[in-house]
Amino acid sequence: MSIEQQLTARSGGKCELCGANHRLTPYQIPPAADDGADNSVLLCGTCHDQIDKPEDLNHWRCLNDSMWSQVPAVQIMAWRMLKRLSAEVWARDLLDMLYLDPELQGWAEAGMAEDDDDRLPTLDSNGARLAVGDSVTLIKDLEVKGAGFTAKRGTLVKNINLTDNPEHIEGKVNGVQIVLVAKFLKKA
């Protein structure tokens, strides 16, 4: 039985991410030790064409369902796509809910490392590299424009998100999602 036949049987003849049934093709998830069905997913043409450059962001809301798949390869693809789409609030929320066991998390991150090489790192005031999910502490009082409060020095901001700008991060202070300048933060 070919890989495509195995994937079609596993998925019921539908895309394993969005459920569409047109232009189905196998996609091997890098880095894979072998090219078996366990390291591949069956994708429709739309999902396959947008893996590297998601264009139709609403199409990817399908990850809300597929991220709960029992198939590890589907979970990995859902995690990677949510990570790529993490500029969207709904994608960050889904990513926060998605739990991968440590082995799968390692596989998911190994494939994403190549994508992140061209980005400048986000550094705190001491030069420590910040990552998604880190906790940081404010090193000075910051007036929050538009929210009507001042974020006090020493405030802990948990579970931060990175932005496209390496000088900024996003986090919640006083229950409000705000953008903070990294040079005024210290990794906790």
**Could you say which of 84, 116, 148 is where a domain stops?**
116
- Domain count of the fold of the chain: 2
Is there a single domain that holds both residue 74 and residue 143?
no
Q: In whole angstroms, give the CA distance from residue 15 to residue 162.
A: 30
Q: In whole angstroms, give the CA distance from residue 138 to residue 158.
A: 11
- Residue (of 59, 58, 33, 29) closest to 44 by Cα position: 59
Is there a single domain that holds both residue 70 and residue 102?
yes
- 119 burial type by CB count under 10 A (0-12 exposed, 13-18 middle, 19+ buried): exposed
Q: Can you give the pLDDT at residue 55?
A: 86
Q: Can you give the pLDDT at residue 111?
A: 67
Is there a single domain that holds both residue 111 and residue 126?
no
Residues in CB range of 158: below 8 A, 6 or more apart: 135, 171, 172
Q: Can you give the pLDDT at residue 32?
A: 65
Task: Annotate 117-136 with DSSP letters as a single string.
Answer: TTSPPEE-TTSPEE-TT--E
Is there a single domain that holds both residue 104 and residue 175?
no
Is there a single domain that holds both residue 137 and residue 168?
yes
Residue linked to tokens 């003849």: 13
Q: Can you give the pLDDT at residue 119?
A: 64
Q: Can you give the pLDDT at residue 30?
A: 82
Is there a single domain that holds both residue 105 and residue 138?
no
**Could you say which of 116, 131, 159 is where a domain stops?**
116
pLDDT tens-digit map of 14-33 = 999 999 999 999 999 887 66
Is there a single domain that holds both residue 28 and residue 103?
yes
pLDDT tens-digit map of 50-95 = 988 888 899 999 999 999 999 999 999 999 999 999 888 899 999 9
- Which domain CATH number covers 179? 2.30.30.40
Residue linked to tokens 């999902």: 47
Is there a single domain that holds both residue 88 and residue 128?
no
Q: Domain containing 87: what range?
A: 3-116
Is there a single domain that holds both residue 54 and residue 106?
yes
Is there a single domain that holds both residue 80 and residue 145?
no
**Could you say which of 78, 94, 116 is where a domain stops?**
116
- 164 burial type by CB count under 10 A (0-12 exposed, 13-18 middle, 19+ buried): exposed
Pick from 51-55, 115-119, 129-133, 148-152: least confident = 115-119
Residues in CB range of 167: below 8 A, 6 or more apart: 122, 181, 182, 183
- Residue 140's Cβ-side half-sphere holds a number of Cα atoms within 13 Å equal to 9
